[in-house]
Structure formats: C-alpha cells, structure tokens
Amino acid sequence: MMSIGEKIRVLRLGKGLSVNEFAKKSGVSKSYISNIERDVQKNPSLIIMGKLAKTLDVPLEELLTHKYGEDDKTKVK
C-alpha cells in the first residue's frame, strides 16, 4: 500500500515539479512537503492536503484514499 507521502511524490514527479517548484505553486513550505513525502509528517491537515491536491490537479479524495487491488483486499469470513 502506498502512503500519502509516496503518492504525493509520485504525482509531483509525474508533473515534472521539483520540491521547490511544488512549494511555490502550492504555498506549502519545502520542508513541510519534504516531511510529508518522507513520511515524517504522517497526518497533514486537510487544508494542506487540499492545496497539494489542487496544485497536482487531482481530487483531494485521490490523495486520501487507497485504491485496493485484488491482492490487497482483506477477506472477511
């Protein structure tokens, strides 16, 4: 399962943005973005997540949810 930080990093790199560019566009500090991406900050606020989602041009829900594949499902018996 990909963490929120990993997901943000993948999306940021997919847009061709450096941490510095991403910080400037989102209005979130470089150090805070770095901490999120490295999973030092594991629970960023919805306000911050909203800014990052808007900058990445993805719905906020995409950053907050994990899409489960068949192998990830927990079976309840």
Handedness of CA 8, 24, 33, 53 (dihedral sign): negative
Q: What is the mean pLDDT of residues 43-71?
A: 84
The tokens describing 1, both together, are 């399962």
Q: Please enumerate in sequence order all residues whose Cβ is within 8 A of that of 23, keeping only pairs 6 or more positions apart, or say none.
A: 29, 30, 33
Maximum pairwise Cα distance, the chain: 49
pTM for the model: 0.82
Q: If you count them, how many residues does the chain have? A: 77
The tokens describing 68, both together, are 């489960």
Q: Is 72 exposed, middle or buried (0-12, 13-18, 19+ CB in 10 A)?
A: exposed
> Percent of the chain at pLDDT above 70?
84
Q: Does residue 2 surpass a pLDDT of 80?
A: yes
Q: What is the mean pLDDT of residues 52-65?
A: 93
